Amino acid sequence: MNIKKVFPISAILFLFSLTIFANTPFVQVKNGQFFIGEKPYYFIGTNYWYGSLLGLEKDKKRGAERLRKELDFLKQNGVTNLRVIAGTEGTGQINGVERISPPLQPVPGKFNSEVLEGLDLLLFEMSKREMKAVVFFSNNWEWSGGFQQYLIWNKKVPKDMQTRRLTWDELRDTVSQFYSCVPCIAAYKEQVSVVMNRTNKFNCKKYVDDATIMAWEIANEPRPMRPNANEDYKKFIAETAAYIKKKDKNHLVVIGHEGRIGTESMEIFEQIHADKNIDYLTIHIWAKNWQWFRDGKLAEDYEIAAKKMTDYIEEHLVIAKKLNKPLVVEEFGLPRNDQSFDINSPTDLRDDYYTKVFSLLASNFKENGNLGGANFWAFGGTARPIKNQTFWKKGDDLMGDPPMEEQGLNTVFDSDKSTWKIIKTYTDSMKSKR
């Protein structure tokens, strides 16, 4: 072999790859950090899952106009990374909940492509504001149909359990079957393909070529649900990630994971995120759902909950460093003081909770650390809870809390001035590397 001839060619190829990396508008991962071009990318974002549905509203004031107004508000406050849903499955009640609609896949194998016009509009408007989107394909939970709907279509759920509220054990027993249900996974992949093959009607860009999208997410909080599903679960994650990467080399791929509590195993969390087709790690943190404070006693137990939150981030950061991949706190939230749903009630504890998360992110920003982003749950924009009505009803304005949760439980509205002051302080402090 003539080394003199080989070396210049390899050097040229290396320099060429660096040039491509430097010039790409897509979010990339390098040495445990996010980059856009040559600049490290650290972000404060939010969950705005309903953003892809607003453009479908017939009333433009409630739909497209609201969307543009809320995106402007987020941009002004430095929140430019949005996690959104691609589409929903099925119609009517599921698990005692009226799911969000209209569905992308109303019946198995039949797709209403017009529903994706809402995602088209969202991505088009986000691109004008230099925002990035994380798009999740399906859901472990019932409020958008999700895995449970695929199981219903394939007759894995008894008829008497298809609409009534399931117990936690019934839900675990049911959803855990998804990972071994071959036709369920095939139908899920068909929906993934429909979304990824889409061309945006507003700018004529193929989704796979649109740098507005930061990452494709396998699902919202996919859990094995039962230990006997662990191996099928790991296989599903690996095969789905490879499937997405094969279709799209431009975008990052992520699981949508909650962390150790989601799999009840840090070992499984590490294994699935070590996959070469998974670009970064996520965790979700739910102090209320995980009973880190006693119901009705948020103030008394707040310091315990806050300590558990910071510990949870730090233990997963250890894995991120080990794998040399970024970590995103993709969901975190806290109720208002006294767990009130009144929009005028104070948010002192939530504000302090957010400050603790953002301060950890800011430290990683300064030190080029692996904690790359934090998306609070969730943005409610101009929507408002309806007085004396706890849960969402069809026709109500969508906000951050999904239909099965109390409206106003974790949502940050555009009127929450003290919270936005904190958010803006931290987004301003992290501008220098963008």
pLDDT at 86: 97
- Give dist(CA 33, CA 430) in Å, integer: 15
Domain boundaries, the chain: 42-429
Q: Is the pLDDT of residue 201 over 60?
A: yes
Over residues 65-90, the pLDDT tens digits come to 999 999 999 999 999 999 999 999 99
User: Which homologous superfamily is 42-429 in?
Assistant: Glycosidases (3.20.20.80)
Q: Where are the beta strands (DSSP E) in 111-180?
A: 132-136
Nearest to 281 by CA among 295, 291, 296, 271: 271
First-last CA distance in the chain? 45
Query: Residue 121 is inside which H or E element, if any?
Result: helix 116-128
Report the percent of the chain where pLDDT is more than 70: 94
- Give dist(CA 234, CA 231) in Å, integer: 5
pLDDT at 181: 98
Count CA within 13 A, CB hemisphere, residue 297: 10
Concatenated DSSP letters of 32-65:
TEEEETTEE--EEEEE-TTHHHHTT-SSTTTTHH
- Give dist(CA 216, CA 224) in Å, integer: 20
pLDDT at 98: 87
pLDDT at 97: 85
- Give dist(CA 334, CA 340) in Å, integer: 11
- Give dist(CA 82, CA 381) in Å, integer: 13
Q: Which of 121-135, 138-152, 156-170 has the lowest mean pLDDT?
A: 156-170
Q: Is the pLDDT of residue 17 over 80?
A: no
pLDDT at 433: 54
How high does pLDDT run on average in the chain?
Answer: 94
pLDDT at 431: 84
Better-scored residue on pLDDT, 22 or 28: 28
Calculate ∠ Cα 429-431-433, nearest 5°: 120
Lookup: tokens for 125? 């408007």
Q: Is the pLDDT of residue 4 over 80?
A: no
- Give dist(CA 30, CA 25) in Å, integer: 14
